[in-house]
Every structure is written in C-alpha cells, then in structure tokens.
Amino acid sequence: MSKKKHHEKKHHEEETKQQESIENENNENVDEVAKQNEELQQKLDEALRAYAKCENEKKLLQKEADNAIEYAYEKFAKDLLPVVDSLELAIAHSSEIEDKAEAFDKLVEGVELTLKKLLDTFKNHGIEQVEHNEFNPEIHQAIQQVQSEEHEDGAIVNIYQKGYTLKGRVIRPSMVTINKK
C-alpha cells in the first residue's frame, strides 16, 4: 500500500472514530435529556396531583363553612321551641277555664313563666338585657326628656323599650326617658 493510501486510510479511520465518538456522545446526551424530561414530567404530574388535592380540600372546606353558616342558628331555634310550646299551651288552656278572672290570672302566670324561659334561652346564647343604672348613650336611646325633682339631671326616668346586647355588642339600644333639669 502506498503511503498516501495508508495515510488516507488512517485519516478515514480517525474520522470514523471521531464520528462514532460524537455519535456516542450525542446518544448519551439524548439519553440524558430524555431522562431529565421524564423526571420533569414526573415532577409535573406530582405538582398537578398536589394542586388537585388542594383544590378538592378547598371545595370541601367551603362546603363545610357554607353548612356551618346555613345551620348556625339551629341550636338557638331548637332552644326557642319550648317557648312556642308554652305559649300554645297557654292559649289552649285559657279557653278551658270558665272563670274569666281565674283564666286571666293563669294566662298572666303562664306568660311570665314563658318570658322567663325565653330570657333564659337568650342568656344561654349570649343575649342579655341592657343595664339601666345610669344613662349611657352607647346603650340607651333618649326618646324624651322630662323634668323630675326625684331624679338627678340626665338620669333615666322611664324605660319604654328594653335594649339587648349579643355577646357584649348592642343589637338594640334601650329607649328611655331622661331627666332634664
């Protein structure tokens, strides 16, 4: 073989080896990219599953909150039912008594007991009557001023309508008459 051919053959062999080396390197790179792509796809799937789980839990919590709001007054309503029962009994039994004076007395007694039951139910749910010791514009509404020697200036003379608080917050102020000297 001539030197030239030998040199060409050697050069060709070297080029072939370089191409094979490049192809092997490319194959390794392709394999590495494919592996990274698969890992990324797995992480994306995990993230999507976690997101879906969070969304489902969010919907469940919202549904529970909606139910809690919808049925928040259930206990209060149940506690008021005995008051309604007492009033219905009072009405039903009042017509059975022939002596009207006795019927009136029994009716008043029944109404007083029912009112006590209602106020106890209110108290159990944080609803309390406003105190009337001295005038306080935050819990009393002065609807009239009168002059009275028996009371101090600005004192409550008469209560027209009792006020109520719900857990310390005024839900209705007392309507009162105050003394103005």
Q: What does the pLDDT look like over 53-71, one tens digit per residue?
A: 999 999 999 999 988 888 8
Secondary structure (DSSP) of 102-139: HHHHHHHHHHHHHHHHHHHHHHHTTEEEPP-SS--TTT
Interhelix angle 100-124/74-94, rounded to 10 degrees, is 170
Q: Are residues 51 and 109 in the same domain?
A: no
Q: For the domain that residue 160 is a member of, what is the CATH number? A: 2.30.22.10
**Domain range for residue 101?**
73-125
pLDDT at residue number 7? 60
Q: Which residues of the chain have pLDDT under 50?
A: none
pLDDT at residue number 164? 94
pLDDT at residue number 161? 93
pLDDT at residue number 28? 73
Secondary structure (DSSP) of 33-83: HHHHHHHHHHHHHHHHHHHHHHHHHHHHHHHHHHHHHHTTTHHHHHHHHHH
pLDDT at residue number 76? 84
Residue whose token pair is 């009072």: 90
Phi-psi label, residue 32: left if phi above 0, alpha if psi -120 to 50, beta otherwise:
alpha
CB 120 within 8 A of CB 155: no
**At which of 99, 125, 151 does a domain end?**
125
Q: Are residues 107 and 150 in the same domain?
A: no
pLDDT at residue number 152? 87
User: Considering its fold, how many domains does the chain have in total?
Assistant: 3
Q: Are residues 67 and 83 in the same domain?
A: no
pLDDT at residue number 116? 92
Q: Are residues 5 and 64 in the same domain?
A: yes
Q: Which residues have a Cβ under 8 Å from the Cβ of 117 and sit 6 or more positions away? A: 82, 83, 86
User: What is the distance of C-alpha 133 from the center of its chain?
Assistant: 35
pLDDT at residue number 32? 81
